[in-house]
Structure 1
Amino acid sequence: MSTATPQKFEFQAEIKQLLDIVIHSLYTEKEIFVRELVSNASDALEKLRHLQLTEKEIADDTLQLEINVTTDDKAKTITIQDFGIGMTRDELVKNLGTIAHSGSKAFLKALGEGGAKNTNLIGQFGVGFYSAFMVAKSVKVYSHSWQKAEASHVWTSDGSGSYEIEEAEGQQRGAKIVIELKDDCSDYAQDWKIKEILERYSAFVSFPITLNGKRINTVQALWLRNKNEVKEEEYTEFYKFQAHAFDEPRLRLHFSADAPLSINALLFVPKENTEKLGLARLEPSVSLYCRKVLIDAKPKDLLPEWLRFLKGVVDSEDLPLNISRETMQDKALIEKLNKVITKRFLKFLEEEAKNRPEGYDEFYKEFGHFVKEGAALDFTHKEQLTKLLRFESSRTEKGKTTSLADYVSRLGADQKEIYYLVGPNRASIESGPYLEGFKARNLEVLFCFEAVDEYVMNNVREFDGKKLTAADHADVKLSDLPKPEGALSDDDVKTITTWIKDTLGDRVAEVKASERLVDSPVLALNADKMMSPHMRRMMKAMNKEGADNPLRVNLEINPRHAVIKRLFELHASNADRAKLVAEQLLDNALISAGLLDDATTMVARLNKLLETA
């Protein structure tokens, strides 16, 4: 250390103002100072690497380009050292004590304008450096320029308004920042604490980072490499590291784009959907980086909500960030990122569905809920998402699915609608009365087994100009079929339907002969167009208002069925018993429709019928 008297300087007024903002209000988390200083160190090393290509004489040219972090919990200090370009005495004054290089003036101006865009560059010895004073009693910056002839110096300040500079002998090229921590920040002198921060924010810095002699960043920033040069095991290792996962990824998308934005992205679909397992709702897990420095580990607006199952990294050099790098100022730019990445991922899924249909089906079984959510709610990408929907149908084998496009390709020339039925499983739909008329007319019906399906269908509404229509809807009109022999006459049908309506009273809105029944005697159609049977069950489960309103249905009868023909005979000969049968047929129909709320009355009636059998 030189015996010369240290020279004292006052911070420029703008720097004093800046320090006050940084220390007291700019950053939400104090630990950010580690990220900022490591990022600055990385930038200094990058500049030195470029100088090595053009300059013949560089001080300490044998030094490794690396960043060394050291903690001392007894002395309550943390030291961050790089072997980059370093600074001369004049550069210490310019970079750390004045507006010159720091970008501070632009930042302060932006604050004065109410948060206008700030294009501060990550990694400069600028505003990020001052974050050290959030945790520091004092900061010392030892530095030796890359120029051999220059002397070494130490810059010292407690952040209160002034700093000192004096010569310091024996310094290696680069910068060494020694932070004496405040008493309430002494945990930043703990090895484990800094290790966790470095792994979170600086894991992909290009240069080696050591903490107390141990290498920290062993995983490369794969998203910046050519995908043809990356091995499968490297992708798997990266996924496990980034997603904190133990399994291997199901799908992977690695792409880059230059327009309309500079983007490098590496996205993964996990093996399993933890929401499906009943665990907590997933949070956004695609981290946002700018030049390999973490900006936000869980950015909420980077991707639409329905893509919350994705893991991975998006890196963009085009981000205009506010000075803390913790929030994006330009919402329009984030929206652009959102659209570019979402469209690219949807294109990727389309390619998977086309080229590897079995693999896509496996993905859809696990993550189809998210695709449905997007189709119902994401109007920007609705068309692409609707094409990705898959359903079992009356034309597919059990467990096999079809797309809406494939359904439309099989339509007859006269069919204007895409029909679907909602039910708990395939067996219940196929054994129920609602499919009979469609099978008899060779009309395909999609099967929907999940609670969300009806909501999705109501929001999608149509595909390729064909309306999505519930096959159990009262307004569905089917073509006539040849009337088989043995059915009740038209007059007898009119008589029995009138009698049934009078007998059942307000429980039914209408009774008529059915065009859709083949093997079943009756079916019930919901008379409430605003609330389907499935929607009613969901509302009851959630105790929603209106779910317990009196139920009225349309009842359709099958004039060819033996039960209906027997009822016609019975209503004239034994009206009391015929009434019991009519009431039981209605309850049977309500059971098939999922609309029977209380079976107590039905059980009592069945017992009475058994007595008279």
Structure 2
Amino acid sequence: METLEFQSEARQLLKLMIHSIYSNKDTFLRELISNASDALDKLRLESFRDKELSADLSDLHIAIEIDKEHRTLTVRDNGIGMTRDQVVDLIGTIARSGTAEFLRKLQDSRDAAASRDLIGQFGVGFYSTFMVADRVTLVTRHPNSAEGVRWESTGESTYTIDSAPDAPQGTAVTLHLKPADEEDHLADYTSHAKITEIVQRYSDFITWPIRLVPEDGGEPTTINSRKALWARPSSEVTEDEYVEFYRHISHDWNKPLETIRVQAEGTFEYQALLFLPSQAPLDLFMRERKRGVQLYVKRVFIMDDCEALMPEYLRFVKGVVDAQDLSLNVSREILQQDRHIQLMRRRLVKKVLSTVKTMMTEKPDAYATFWRELGAAVKEGLLSDPDNREAILGICSFASTHSPETPTTLAQYVERMKEDQQVIYYMTGDSRATVERSPHLEALRAKGLEVLILTDPIDEMWVDAVPEFEGRRFQSVAKGQVDLESEEERSATAEREKDFADLLAWMTTTLADHVKQVRLSSRLTTSPACVVGDTYDLTPTLEKMYRAMGQELPKIKRILELNPTHPLVTGLRKAFDETSDDTDRADLADTVELIYGMALLAEGGELTDASRFVRLMSDRLQRTL
């Protein structure tokens, strides 16, 4: 037996790694099973390369043995095993490197992928066993070695290496467990139920059978399903299997709306099995919602809700991504910056969006369900994912004035545009009914122009950030100037503006506390007036949203537009022309205030002084009796 001494920093390094990387102590078993699976994979590969390898390949498996009396847990495989030099080189890496050197390299490395590899090189996976064990014993033998090697340590200052003449092929790691401690959240790892639960959670899809050996020496039981659906050809997977798997990972008892498979080969290999739900998750718009898919590495479970693989606006996507070339020792922070993860994310996003695009034409009913349930979340991507903005616009549907029941895509809208129409008209509002009753739509409806009706809160934001679709600019019918007039109509409007110039100037002064300008309108046909925003102003709804979030904003004045052909407006102009001083126009000022209030109410706005508006209206009605 040989006793070797750890470097002085080893204990500190063990503590650092255990408490920094593993917040869940159950993961020690995942690491041991992953190492055992790798050993079996390597043995199978080596047997193809080396025909002289004297290995037994008849029953490759992983076994877990529990001894409750002595509180030990053993994970055993009959894989490739290790020689004495390999034990020192691989298991002793953490001792050879030292804390100071490790931390220096980790701090010097600005590349996340390199940092991840450094963590893997320091044997963190194996040493996670000291989270739950006071002492760890490893016995191993390479198929071509005459005798095995026994390694043992308490994780303190030394470890021992000795020969093991009777060691079987493979590796056995025995953990002398710490006492169960509820306060320290240290579970009883001598419980068959607990071990089964951990294996089925983290290692259920390991290719090799994982057998739990009963203490009475009875027949071992295989406790992992070994069914990696994403690794099996789609022709071999039934619809029922997909449904059950979806229910297992999503806790949603509905059937998935669509199943998406991705198989990437080449320099970086991974597989993905994703699902689109048929119903919006209850927490879709909750602040504490979970998002992301499950991440596996070589069929070993790494984490739930891997946010790095799926953007926020696709948070409803559920499924599994299984990468072949990632380290097991990764944190969420490292994944956020990993180059391979970013490549995977881009491809997965494009695959999801293209799948929805295909649904639009091939499965219109499924697409309608998808958009009704999840469209509001998808539209968030118009703000957060400019790289895929065109693809997202391509799968969007909106209510419109074209059809009261059937939403329209932007492509369908463009197909129906009039020959001389250059822009895509839209209007935001609280509800379809509110928008359809708005006076802003009068002239467009009269000219047969279609208007998109946008009623989701996110619509208020993306329309200002997205300039166009396929070269057609988005134009709000409630903001800026809406040019709907022919040359002849423009000429007539120019003459009217001369006739109304004095009235408009006086009204602008009279309503100075409420509006920035009063002007004639080309968007009204039956209503006397409407209130519109300037081209780059916030909408009233968006202004409310920002104020509700505690943001201080200056008062935003809007523009009052008058219908020059409405009897109320023409009568106001006549009365104005027939008076000459402020005293005579005091009654007209009340009328102007009423016109502004009515315009505000017509669009669903709020009066700043409702009691004054009611009093003025009552006085005016009384005079007509």
State the TM-score bracket (shorter-chain normalisation). Answer: 0.7 to 0.9
Taking the aligned partners of 1:273 and 1:174, their CA distance within structure 2 comes to 49
Partner of 1:354: 361
Partner of 1:34: 29
Partner of 1:187: 187
Matches within 5 A, 1:201-600: 201-211=202-212, 214-218=221-225, 220-259=227-266, 261-274=268-281, 279-319=286-326, 327-328=334-335, 331-395=338-402, 397-480=403-486, 490=496, 493=500, 497=504, 500-501=507-508, 503-527=510-534, 529-546=536-553, 549=555, 552-567=557-572, 578-598=588-608, 599-600=610-611
Q: Give 1:227 deviation, angstroms.
A: 1.6
**Structure 1 stretch 42-51 or stretch 196-205: which is displaced more?**
42-51
Partner of 2:88: 97
Q: Give 1:71 deviation, angstroms.
A: 3.8
> Contact conserved, 1:570 with 1:577, CA < 8 A, in 2?
no
> Contact conserved, 1:142 with 1:176, CA < 8 A, in 2?
yes
**Structure 1 stretch 189-198 or stretch 149-158: which is displaced more?**
149-158
Taking the aligned partners of 1:513 and 1:329, their CA distance within structure 2 comes to 54
Instruction: Determine helix, strand or coil for the equivalent of 2:324.
Output: coil
User: How many residues get paired?
Assistant: 591
Q: Give 1:9 deviation, angstroms.
A: 3.8
> Contact conserved, 2:149 with 2:161, CA < 8 A, in 1?
no
TM-score, scaled to structure 1: 0.84
Q: Which of 138, 141, 144 is the matching residue for 1:141?
A: 138
Q: Give 1:320 deviation, angstroms.
A: 5.6
Q: Alignment RMSD, CA only?
A: 3.7
* 1:79 equivalent in alignment to 2:84: no
Q: Give 1:402 deviation, angstroms.
A: 1.6
> Contact conserved, 1:371 with 1:388, CA < 8 A, in 2?
no
Q: Give 1:95 deviation, angstroms.
A: 3.0
Q: Give 1:61 deviation, angstroms.
A: 6.4
Q: Which of 583, 606, 612 is the matching residue for 2:617?
A: 606
Change in Cα spacing, 1:48 to 1:107, as seen in structure 2 (3 Å) is farther
Instruction: Determine helix, strand or coil for the equivalent of 2:305.
Output: coil
**Structure 1 stretch 311-320 or stretch 358-367: which is displaced more?**
311-320
Change in Cα spacing, 1:271 to 1:168, as seen in structure 2 (3 Å) is farther
Change in Cα spacing, 1:122 to 1:254, as seen in structure 2 (3 Å) is farther
Q: Give 1:373 deviation, angstroms.
A: 0.8
The amino acid of 1:198's aligned partner reads V
Taking the aligned partners of 2:46 and 2:536, their CA distance within structure 1 comes to 75
Unaligned runs of 5+ in 2: 215-219
Q: Which of 51, 68, 84 is the matching residue for 2:63?
A: 68
Unaligned runs of 5+ in 1: 1-6
TM-score, scaled to structure 2: 0.83
Partner of 2:217: none
CA-to-aligned-CA distance 1:365-411 (integer Å, 9 cap, x gap): 1111222111122122122112222111111x223112222222222
Taking the aligned partners of 1:323 and 1:459, their CA distance within structure 2 comes to 36
The amino acid of 2:27's aligned partner reads I
The amino acid of 1:25's aligned partner reads M
Partner of 1:3: none
> Contact conserved, 2:94 with 2:122, CA < 8 A, in 1?
no
**Structure 1 stretch 73-82 or stretch 48-57: which is displaced more?**
48-57
> Contact conserved, 1:23 with 1:133, CA < 8 A, in 2?
no
> Contact conserved, 1:417 with 1:466, CA < 8 A, in 2?
yes
The amino acid of 1:206's aligned partner reads T
Partner of 1:163: 160
Change in Cα spacing, 1:324 to 1:352, as seen in structure 2 (3 Å) is closer
Taking the aligned partners of 1:517 and 1:206, their CA distance within structure 2 comes to 70
Taking the aligned partners of 1:423 and 1:187, their CA distance within structure 2 comes to 55
> Contact conserved, 1:36 with 1:123, CA < 8 A, in 2?
no
CA-to-aligned-CA distance 1:143-183 (integer Å, 9 cap, x gap): 46556x945665433233121435465x6554332210234
Change in Cα spacing, 1:215 to 1:385, as seen in structure 2 (3 Å) is same
> Contact conserved, 2:208 with 2:226, CA < 8 A, in 1?
no
**Structure 1 stretch 557-566 or stretch 288-297: which is displaced more?**
557-566
Taking the aligned partners of 1:279 and 1:230, their CA distance within structure 2 comes to 34
Taking the aligned partners of 1:393 and 1:106, their CA distance within structure 2 comes to 66
Taking the aligned partners of 1:500 and 1:412, their CA distance within structure 2 comes to 36
Change in Cα spacing, 1:393 to 1:35, as seen in structure 2 (3 Å) is same
Q: Give 1:344 deviation, angstroms.
A: 2.2
**Structure 1 stretch 576-585 or stretch 377-386: which is displaced more?**
576-585
Q: Give 1:438 deviation, angstroms.
A: 0.9
Taking the aligned partners of 1:589 and 1:602, their CA distance within structure 2 comes to 12
> Contact conserved, 1:10 with 1:162, CA < 8 A, in 2?
yes
Change in Cα spacing, 1:123 to 1:204, as seen in structure 2 (3 Å) is farther
> Contact conserved, 1:291 with 1:315, CA < 8 A, in 2?
yes
Partner of 2:4: 10
* 1:178 equivalent in alignment to 2:179: no
Taking the aligned partners of 1:72 and 1:325, their CA distance within structure 2 comes to 35
Q: Give 1:442 deviation, angstroms.
A: 2.0
Change in Cα spacing, 1:443 to 1:219, as seen in structure 2 (3 Å) is farther
The amino acid of 2:621's aligned partner reads L
> Contact conserved, 2:296 with 2:323, CA < 8 A, in 1?
yes
CA-to-aligned-CA distance 1:194-218 (integer Å, 9 cap, x gap): 3443233212111222445554322
> Contact conserved, 1:533 with 1:594, CA < 8 A, in 2?
no
> Contact conserved, 1:275 with 1:282, CA < 8 A, in 2?
no
> Contact conserved, 1:43 with 1:123, CA < 8 A, in 2?
no
Change in Cα spacing, 1:542 to 1:608, as seen in structure 2 (3 Å) is farther
Change in Cα spacing, 1:45 to 1:244, as seen in structure 2 (3 Å) is farther
Instruction: Determine helix, strand or coil for the equivalent of 1:297.
Output: strand
> Contact conserved, 1:118 with 1:322, CA < 8 A, in 2?
no
The amino acid of 1:38's aligned partner reads I
Taking the aligned partners of 2:369 and 2:239, their CA distance within structure 1 comes to 20
Change in Cα spacing, 1:111 to 1:494, as seen in structure 2 (3 Å) is closer
Q: Give 1:337 deviation, angstroms.
A: 1.9
CA-to-aligned-CA distance 1:49-70 (integer Å, 9 cap, x gap): 45677869967766x4332324
CA-to-aligned-CA distance 1:489-540 (integer Å, 9 cap, x gap): 9487556545644554543333333211112121112358432222223234
Taking the aligned partners of 1:554 and 1:389, their CA distance within structure 2 comes to 31
**Structure 1 stretch 593-602 or stretch 428-437: which is displaced more?**
593-602
